[in-house]
C-alpha cells in the first residue's frame, strides 16, 4: 500500500514475518529463495518484509538485532516469535500457523 510505514504494517491484521538481513551476509542470501517459497505457499496469509540492517540501523537497534539473518514474526503489533539463522520454508510455515493460532 502507498505511504504505509513499517509501524502500519506490523500493526495490521495479517501476520508479518520480517527478515532482518545484510547484503554482505551469506546466510541472508540463502533466505531469499526460502522466503519466496514461503510466500508461494502462504500467499496472503502472511506478509513478508525484508529489512536491511545497514540501511535501517534505527529499526535494527529498536528490535535488538545482534546477528543476521534474524526473523521476527509480528501479529497485531506484537512480537510472537523470533529466531536467528536460516530456517526452511516448511518449518517457517508451521511456526507461523501455530503461533498465530495461539493468539
What is the set of active-site residues?
Answer: 25, 28
Distance from C-alpha of 69 to C-alpha of 87, rounded to nearest angstrom: 10
Amino acid at each position: 500500500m502507498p505511504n504505509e510505514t513499517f509501524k502500519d504494517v506490523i500493526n495490521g491484521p495479517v501476520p508479518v514475518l520480517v527478515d532482518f538481513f545484510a547484503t554482505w551476509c551469506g546466510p541472508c542470501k540463502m533466505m531469499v529463495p526460502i522466503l519466496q517459497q514461503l510466500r508461494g505457499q502462504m500467499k496472503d496469509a502472511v506478509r513478508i518484509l525484508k529489512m536491511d540492517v545497514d540501511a535501517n540501523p534505527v529499526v535494527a537497534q529498536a528490535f535488538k538485532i545482534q546477528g543476521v539473518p534474524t526473523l521476527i514474526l509480528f501479529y497485531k503489533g506484537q512480537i510472537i516469535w523470533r529466531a536467528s539463522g536460516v530456517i526452511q520454508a516448511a518449518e517457517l510455515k508451521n511456526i507461523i500457523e501455530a503461533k498465530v493460532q495461539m493468539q
